[in-house]
Amino acid sequence: MNFSGSYHGDDVRFLLKPLALASFVDVPDKERLIQSGQRHYSEMLSRESLPSPRYLDVFGQACAANLQRMARDCVTLAGLIARRRAGPVTLVSLARAGTPVGVVLKRLLGGVFGREVAHYSLSIIRDRGIDQVALEYILAQGHAPESIVFVDGWTGKGVIAAELHASMALFNARHGCAIDSGLYVLSDLAGVAACAAGHDDYLIPSSILNATVSGLVSRSILNDAIGPDDFHGCVYYAEFEPQDQSRAFADRLVELARQWAEGPAAIDAVIGPASEPASATTALADLATETARATAAQVSRGYMRTAKRAHGVADRNLIKPGLGEATRVLLRRSPDRLIVRDAASADVAHLLVLAREKDVPVQLDPELPYQAVSIIRSIADG
C-alpha cells in the first residue's frame, strides 16, 4: 500500500505497510531486548506520546530561531539537486526524518526550479538495509534509475549513509541498474553525504518532534507481520490528528523558502548561476565543499574514538552525536546522560526540557565538537 499520511496527496507517497499493532513495547524492555541481541530494534515499536505544552513552546522557539535557516538550506539543496539531475527528478526520502525535507524539496523543485518531480518515502533500517520491494515499486512506476535522489534530514555518525551504499550495491547488482547511492541532506555532520547544504550542528526544527511533524507516521517496522512482497511497516497515529503540524510546518517552510528565493541572485549566491558552465569559480566552490566534508568526517571519526574511551562505551551505537540524534535518544530510547556544549544555547533548550522530564543527567563539555551528544544507557550497567 502507498498513502500520504497526513500530508497532501501530491506531497509524498509513503511506501510503507500500515500495521495495527496490538501491543507496544515499553522503552526499558525494548532497550534490554535490543542490547541483549534478542530482538532487532526494527522488530519493535514503543508507543509515542504527544509532546508536553512546555516542549511545544520550545518547538515554537526553535522554529522562530531556525526555520529561516532550514528554509534557505532547503532551497540550497533543491538547487544542487536541480544542477546534478537532468530531466525529471524522483525524490526518495528516508522515512521518517527525511520525509519533511523531501516534501519541501518536491515543492521547491517544481515551483522554484520548474522541474518535474515525484516524491516517495520509504524505509531503511540499520543492519537490514533499504526496502527493496519499495524500490522495485518506484522503478515499476516508470521512474528512470538515474532520476532517483535519496534524501534525509542529517547525518550523525554516517551509519545510514553506509547502509544505503551497501544496500544499493546489492540492489543494482540484482537488477542490472546503476542507481546513485549518494545521500542528500541539510546537515552532514559525519562528512559522508554526497551533497549537503552544510556541515554544522544546528537545530533543524523538524528533528525535535516525532510523528506530528512527519505525516503522523511512526518509525518503520520490519517484523513477522511483513511478508516478502510487502513494504516495510509503520503505524499511523490517527489519534494525533488534532495536534498534527506536518502540513502547516511544510507550508511555512515552503513560504519562507520561496520568499528567500524570489530573486535569481539569491539562488545564484548559493549554487551559482544556472546558465553558467563549470568554471574556475564553481571548481573552487566544489573544492571548498570537499574540504568541508573531509573536515567533518575527520572530526566525526576523532570524536567517536575519544568518546568511547572517555565514557567507557564499547558499542558505538550507544553514542549519538549531534542535535538530531541526541533528540531521538531522549524521545524514544533509554538515555544514560545528555552532554551539551553550552547549556545556555537556545538550540539545546528542548533537550534540557526532555532531560528534566525524564530525569536524565546533563553534563557540560565546552570542548564538544557538536552542540549535543546523547549516550544510551547500557544494560550492562543495570
d(CA 37, CA 122): 25
pLDDT for residue 265: 54
pLDDT confidence bin for 258, thresholds 50/70/90: very high
Q: Are residues 242 and 324 in the same domain?
A: no
Mean pLDDT of 329-335: 88
Half-sphere exposure at residue 221, Cβ-oriented, CA atoms within 13 angstroms: 23
pLDDT for residue 279: 53
pLDDT for residue 10: 95
Q: Are residues 194 and 244 in the same domain?
A: yes
Q: Which amino acid is at 218?
A: S
d(CA 216, CA 247): 10
Q: With 60 as the cut, is the pLDDT of residue 382 above it?
A: no
DSSP 221: B
Mean pLDDT of 73-87: 94
Q: Are residues 254 and 357 in the same domain?
A: no
Written as nine digits, the cell of 41 is 530494534
Location of C-alpha cell 505497510: 17
pLDDT for residue 272: 57
CATH of the domain at 329: 3.30.1330.30
The answer to whether the CB of 181 falls within 8 A of the CB of 148 is no
Other residues' Cβ atoms within 10 Å of the Cβ of residue 182: 16
pLDDT for residue 244: 97
Q: Are residues 353 and 243 in the same domain?
A: no
Span 149-190, pLDDT tens digits? 999 999 989 999 999 999 999 999 999 999 999 999 999 999
Total number of domains in the chain? 2
- 176 falls within a domain: yes
- 171 falls within a domain: yes
Q: With 80 as the cut, is the pLDDT of residue 9 above it?
A: yes
CA-closest candidate to residue 171, choices 204, 126, 139, 195: 139
The answer to whether the CB of 145 falls within 8 A of the CB of 139 is yes
Phi then psi for 94, rounded to 5 degrees? -90, 115
Supply the mean pLDDT for the chain.
Answer: 90
Q: Is the peptide bond before 96 cis (omega within 30 degrees of 0)?
A: yes
Q: Are residues 232 and 297 in the same domain?
A: no
Per-residue CA distances from 138 to 18, 133, 223 (Å): 18, 9, 22
Q: Residue 64: which residues within 8 A CB-CB, separation 6 or more?
A: none
Q: Of the residues 254, 269, 284, which one is the last residue of a structural domain? A: 269
pLDDT for residue 284: 46
pLDDT for residue 231: 97
Q: With 90 as the cut, is the pLDDT of residue 275 above it?
A: no
- 122 falls within a domain: yes
pLDDT for residue 32: 85
Q: Are residues 66 and 173 in the same domain?
A: yes
Q: Are residues 186 and 97 in the same domain?
A: yes
The answer to whether the CB of 320 falls within 8 A of the CB of 326 is yes
d(CA 138, CA 142): 7
- 109 falls within a domain: yes
- 354 falls within a domain: yes
DSSP 205: G
- 276 falls within a domain: no
pTM confidence score: 0.90
- 355 falls within a domain: yes
pLDDT for residue 263: 59
d(CA 230, CA 15): 9
Mean pLDDT of 272-285: 51
Span 313-327, pLDDT tens digits? 888 889 999 999 999
pLDDT for residue 332: 82
Q: Which amino acid is at 86?
A: A
Q: Which amino acid is at 311?
A: H
Q: Are residues 36 and 163 in the same domain?
A: yes
Mean pLDDT of 122-150: 97
Q: Are residues 106 and 60 in the same domain?
A: yes
Q: Are residues 158 and 81 in the same domain?
A: yes
- 243 falls within a domain: yes
Q: Are residues 252 and 133 in the same domain?
A: yes
Q: Are residues 38 and 181 in the same domain?
A: yes
Domain assignment of residue 162, given as a range: 2-269
Mean pLDDT of 326-348: 93
pLDDT for residue 281: 47
